[in-house]
Amino acid sequence: MDKIDFYTVFAGEAGCIKVKIMKDQKIAILGGGNLGASIAEGLIKSKFIAPERITVTRRNVDALLPLQSLGVHTTSDNEEAVKRSDVIIVALKPYNVKEVMVGLRDHFDPLRHIIISVVTGLYLKDLMAIVGNGVPIFRAMPNTAIAIQESVTCLCHVGGSLEQAEYVSSLFNQLGIAISIDEKLMDAATVLGACGIAYALRFIRASTQGGIEIGFDAVTANLIAAQTVKGAAELLLKLKRHPEAEIDKVTTPKGCTIAGLNEMEHQGFSSSLIKGIITSYEKIGK
Ligand SMILES: NC(=O)c1ccc[n+]([C@@H]2O[C@H](COP(=O)([O-])OP(=O)(O)OC[C@H]3O[C@@H](n4cnc5c(N)ncnc54)[C@H](OP(=O)(O)O)[C@@H]3O)[C@@H](O)[C@H]2O)c1
């Protein structure tokens, strides 16, 4: 996707003029681990932002050398990162957040900064209590496919303008698809989107195991199973088809597909998936 510019329109004496906003932002990513580094790489690959406008932090700064070689500014100094930047992405482990953010709270400027937290299970009210000075706060729940810019990222926020919300949405649209939701659905988003990657991978793994039993070597079976799932997903995403309509197309009367599919359902296929999703959801709430 091309880099997007953001505008707001003012009606002045000379008529409507467009003023660029939320452009040329500098982004800090606090916690350049798996997710933080993936976000930086994705933003650079998509040309959403130039590498030199990104600062990534972690204590073991040597582990950030691959990002540094792309032109990203790397440091172990979170305070420096906040001072250099406008958009602060928090990609720390949940148990690190309070300690790090309390130490930075005096450096957040509500007129300059926005905070985007990707930390699982940390609510907006908790973040507000930690940061505490009216700085707009966004929560984002991506999944591991963010590493290849194919995440689904659910977003909610407290404070912030429409432009800021659009900016955050566009940032995560560079890394897959962004969806705005109510915060009360964030746990559900975590289960369906983030845990969902594991459910889908287990489906592929099980298909591979079946494929081996009917004659393929493991590598070929895995390739066929993975590409088949990708193709099925693309039919829904690109052609906006309904899953059952696509299933009807491949289930010949008295054929092998419907026989196998019905046997899976007799064994509880859909039911076990739904029960698993509900079990994950109940667990996350505890
Ligand atoms: N992975 C996912 O797909 C995913 C999806 C959704 C949400 N999340 C959430 O995203 C967050 C990060 O997950 P992750 O998988 O990326 O974890 P991770 O790989 O452990 O990354 C966390 C990073 O924080 C750094 N760190 C620790 N203390 C720090 C400090 N004081 N200042 C700066 N950096 C510090 C650590 O590096 P050093 O030890 O070198 O400092 C580490 O690299 C978690 O809260 C997780 O719940 C992850």
Over the range 91-125, which residues count as b (16 or more CB within 10 Å of their CB) and which as e? bbeeeebeebbeebeeebeeeebbbbbbbeebbbe
Residue bearing the CA closest to ligand 1, atom 19: 33
Task: Tell me what the pLDDT averaged over the chain comes to.
Answer: 91
Whole-number Å distance, alpha carbon 94 to ligand 1 midpoint, is 8
Question: Is the Cβ atom of 176 under 6 angstroms away from ligand 1?
Answer: no
Summarised one tens digit per residue, pLDDT across range 26-54 is 999 999 999 999 999 999 999 999 999 99
Summarised one tens digit per residue, pLDDT across range 135-172 is 999 999 999 999 899 999 999 999 989 999 999 999 99
Tell which wins on pLDDT, 108 or 5.
108
Mutation test residue for ligand 1: of 39, 93, 130, the one with most atoms within 8 Å of CB? 93
Average pLDDT over residues 56-67: 98
Burial class (CB in 10 A: 0-12, 13-18, 19+), 196: middle
Question: Is the Cβ atom of 160 under 6 angstroms away from ligand 1?
Answer: no
